[in-house]
Amino acid sequence: MSSGKFKLSLDGWAVGLALLLALLVRFNILPTIPW
Amino acid sequence: MSTSVAIKQSTSTNLSSRLFSFIPGVILLAAIGYAGKFIEQSISRYGKSHHVSLPNIEYVLWAILIGLAISNTVRIPELFKAGIATYEFWLKVGIVLLGARFLLGDVIKLGGLSLALVVIELAIAIALMTALGRAFKLKPKLITLLAVGSSICGVSAIIAAKGAIDADDEDSSMAIAAILALGAISLFTFPFIGHLLGMSNHAYGLWSGLAVDNTAEAVAAGALYSDAAGKIAVLAKTARNAMIGFVVLGYAIYWASKGQAHTVHNKALFLWQKFPKFILGFLLISLLATLGFFNKDQIGSLGNLSRWAFLLTFAGVGLRTSLREMREQGLRPFIVGAVGEVVIAAVTLGLVLGADRLFHLS
């Protein structure tokens, strides 16, 4: 059941984390990310 | 009051213990992914310092191969499993972040072309899989699952369709195993064919996005060709994923009319529930990049963050592929899937090469 709940909100978590990272990069809180 | 505090405390403890349970597996994904990157760089450095020309095998392939070797030789402890399963989460994070490297105009142009090709691909894939499944006397719901998996987006489409048409677990695990096995084969065949035909990055990326079923494998097949092809593969595959709700709804209505699935009362709500929401995140980041919210360096950083997220995904693709489980699933669904996939790959290749001539994709 709990894994079902996680699956349902997987997209929301992914978008949330990506947006958070984007904001941290935008406001220079994260340093330049190398590859 | 005290009850609500207690509930809040227990919820936060649950969440933190769940988060902690992911850590070992995520570390394993990162270690395998980084090892792949390290091997690629080491071979390249060795070649340069010794003035020898060595084949450039991308980190993508190394990460997948290391994952495959581990999962098929040793038994992975339970401790790692929750974290390994997050590879699909990292795939979605990577796709959303990749939105920063697309201007919204390009998304609309390329996404529109992809959508047009996707509609043709869907019609062919569904008709073909249905005919093949009937010829091989597969169970009707297994045929539906294979048709959904091969026409749209692999595992997540099969899982979405399973609930909507009340299919049983055995059918869905057979369909998933067939789609995953074929996805693994496409990782090795698609780049080879692309190079053989001298395809442009755009044309190749579009082809892998249209023809490789599971999103992680489609992204990996694209990235194996080149970074630019990987980017286009993500866009084409995302356009294909956006169609999931329509196809699953069509099948749900079909099976409900036969009295073998629940009736869908609110079709708009059903479409929204099945729509992959991460696509909205991708479009939002692309819109922000188009509006100049990020500078050039920041777009570079977001692109690199997306590549790190994909690195974890590729390690997970290898770790998740169990050759033994695939063998156990039986040959008939695999043959139907394989014959169907070869035809779909050939037809989509024709479509992409035709579109390349018409619209000069590169």
Over the stretch A2-32, which tens digit does the pLDDT of each residue have? Answer: 444 444 578 899 999 999 999 999 999 999 9
Which of 9-28 (A) contact B at CB < 8 A?
A: 10-15, 17-19, 21-22, 25-26
Nearest to A33 among B89, B96, B301 (CB): B301
Q: Is the pLDDT of residue A1 over 50?
A: no
| Alpha helix positions (H), chain B | 2-49, 59-73, 78-84, 87-98, 104-135, 140-151, 154-165, 169-196, 201-211, 215-225, 227-241, 244-257, 267-274, 278-290, 296-320, 323-328, 332-359
CA nearest B119: which of B348, B360, B362, B356?
A: B348
Q: Which residues of B touch A26 (CB under 8 A)?
A: 293-294, 298
Using the Cβ of A35 and the Cβ atoms of chain B, whether some distance falls under 8 Å is answered with yes
* Owning domain of residue A4: 1-35
**Per-residue model confidence (pLDDT) at position B140:** 85
Q: How many domains does chain A have?
A: 1
Hey, are the CB atoms on B298 and A25 less than 8 Å from each other? Answer: yes
Q: Which residues of A touch B89 (CB under 8 A)?
A: 10, 13-14
Cα of A8 to nearest chain B Cα, Å: 9
B96 and A19 within 8 Å at the Cβ level: the answer is yes
Does residue A4 belong to the interface with chain B, where contact is any CB pair within 8 Å?
A: no
Measure in Å the smallest separation between the Cα of B96 and chain A Cα atoms.
Answer: 6
User: Least CB-CB distance to B305: which of A6, A13, A21?
Assistant: A21
pLDDT for the residue B361: 66
Q: Name every chain B residue with its beta carbon within 8 A of the beta carbon of A8.
A: none
Check A11 against B92: CB less than 8 A apart.
yes
The secondary structure of chain A in percent helix, strand, coil, rounded to multiples of 5, reads 70, 0, 30
Q: Shortest Cα distance from A6 to chain B (angstroms)?
A: 10
Interface contacts A/B by beta carbons within 8 Å: 68
Chain A: residue whose CA lies nearest to B100: A22
Whole-prediction pTM value?
A: 0.80
Chain B positions touching A29 (Cβ under 8 A) are none
Contact flag A22-B302 (C-beta cutoff 8 Å): yes
Question: pLDDT 10s digit of each residue in chain B, 362 long?
Answer: 444 555 555 666 777 888 889 999 999 999 999 999 999 889 888 888 888 777 677 788 888 889 989 988 988 899 999 999 998 899 899 999 998 988 888 888 877 888 888 888 888 888 888 888 888 888 888 888 888 888 876 777 777 777 777 777 777 777 777 777 788 888 889 999 999 999 999 999 999 999 998 888 899 999 999 989 999 999 998 888 888 888 888 888 888 888 878 888 888 888 888 888 888 999 999 999 999 999 999 999 999 999 899 999 989 888 887 777 767 766 777 787 788 888 889 999 999 998 888 877 66
Q: What is the pLDDT of residue B4?
A: 52
Write down the ipTM of this complex.
0.83
Query: Domain extents for chain B?
Result: 22-359
Q: Which string of DSSP letters, residue by residue, matches B1-59? A: -HHHHHHHHHHHHHHHHHHHHHHHHHHHHHHHHHHHHHHHHHHHHHHHHTT-------H
